[in-house]
Amino acid sequence: MNSYKILALIGDGIAYEIVPEAVKVLTAVEKKHGLDLELVGPYEFGAKYYADHDMKQGWSPEITRELLYEVDCWFKGPVGLPEYLGKLPGPYLPINQRLDQDLYANIRPCRLREGVDGVLKGRTAGDIDFIVLRENTEHMYVRVGGLFSRAGTTELAVDNYIQTRKGCERIIRRGYELALSGAYKGKRGSPRDGKPRLTVAAKWGIYKGDALFKAIAEELEPSYPEVETEYSWIDAWSYWAIMRPDHYDVVVMPNQYGDIMSDMSGALQGSMGLAGSINAGDDYCYAEPTHGSAPDIAGRGVSNPTSMILSVGMMLNWLGDKNGDKRLKDAWMSIDAAVNTVLREQKVRTPDLGGSNNTVEFGDAVVAALLSE
């Protein structure tokens, strides 16, 4: 029987509340599915860690570059605090995780679940069930650029937008694979008609990199005849995602667009606290919630841990695919089903969902549902 080493990192703000709930769920799912999981940590890192250690280092000494490559996968809470933005002397971790581990696919599901009130009038559970698939290593976030200063005044700022054939091709292929498999969704295909559909969203005709993105999608389209392929300018898609969300299945887009649109998707599914995600490559993966550190509510114990819990479940599914281990994939399905049960019953709800329960109570309810199935 395979054993797996999983690293847990805490982060900033509400990370101190939601990461322990994910650990609790991991322990329960290990018992339920007969898994052998070695949990390493959780260890601290982030802006607060920098501030607490005289701005000399942003992570616990137990977190090493070697450890991040040694573990089978890892997960972290949200990181960053507004008062330290642009003031930290270095990175949060000893690696640039998305680039160094080549985690090119940011998979961010958007699903309106039973028992959750969505923001769109007339939309009910099952009407919204799509994935924002964000390319994770290129576009505006490569940090190739600079500043021009004269006489002490910054007069020019340059950010270069980079797209490569390799980067476009592999993320679009991953989009087709997700559409075919139905992974991470409530049901395979579009809620409206059940068709596996890949929507390619960018801004060709304006940006050369986006024109390359679309051209490569057109090259790949004939290789996936079972998937309906369509193309949309990203600004038009932001409109249609609200007007007809049930039409969409998997939506693939360049990095910056995916970052922005997945926040909008968090609203469509009822709360950012429900928005899970993984950063996945071919060899490595880490999980994190889509939302930030929420310092406005940190320390009150009222944050919704669902995003962190679902993210960890998605991570197990990725690990199951990589190792051909069905137990891990079943573990993800159990976590997803347990969250559905708690939300559907509406007995335990955090304030973002209109309830008065705290973070620990919600985590306990997910564990109880998981073990009782």
The 10s digit of each residue's pLDDT in 216-259 is 999 999 999 999 999 999 999 999 999 999 999 999 999 999 99
Give the pLDDT score at 95: 83
Arithmetic mean of pLDDT over the chain: 95
CATH of the domain at 77: 3.40.718.10
Q: What integer pLDDT is reported at residue 28 of this predicted model?
A: 97
Residue 297 reports pLDDT greater than 90: yes
Residue in 11, 78, 6, 77 with CA at minimum distance from that of residue 44 = 11
pLDDT > 90? residue 285: yes
The tally of domains found in the chain comes to 2
- Among residues 222, 244, 273, the one where a domain terminates is 273
**Dist CA 87 CA 233 (whole Å):** 36
* Same-domain check for residues 227 and 324: no
Edge to edge, what strands does the sheet with 228-233 contain? 37-43, 4-9, 73-76, 285-287, 278-280, 105-111, 129-135, 250-253, 197-202, 228-233
* Boundary-marking domain end, from 219, 250, 273: 273
Contact between 131 and 176 under an 8 Å Cβ cutoff? The reply is: no
Q: Give the pLDDT confidence score for residue 86 in this predicted structure.
A: 82
Closest alpha carbon to 313 in 333, 294, 297: 333
User: Which residue segment(s) compose the domain that 304 sits in?
Assistant: 1-103+281-373
Centroid of chain to Cα 61: 26
Query: What distance in Å separates the CA atoms of residue 270 and residue 264, rounded to the nearest whole number?
Result: 10
Which band of pLDDT confidence, cut at 50, 70 and 90, is reported for residue 19? very high
> Is 0.85 topped by the overall pTM?
yes
Specify the pLDDT at position 1: 66
Mean pLDDT of 279-287: 97
Q: What is the pLDDT of residues 120-133, one digit of tens each?
A: 999 999 999 999 99
pLDDT digits (tens, 9 = 90+) for 67-90: 999 999 999 999 999 998 888 888
Q: What pLDDT sits at residue 84? A: 87
Distance CA 283, CA 290 (A): 22
197 with 255, same domain: the answer is yes
Q: In terms of Cα–Cα distance, which of 167, 230, 236, 228 is closest to 206?
A: 236
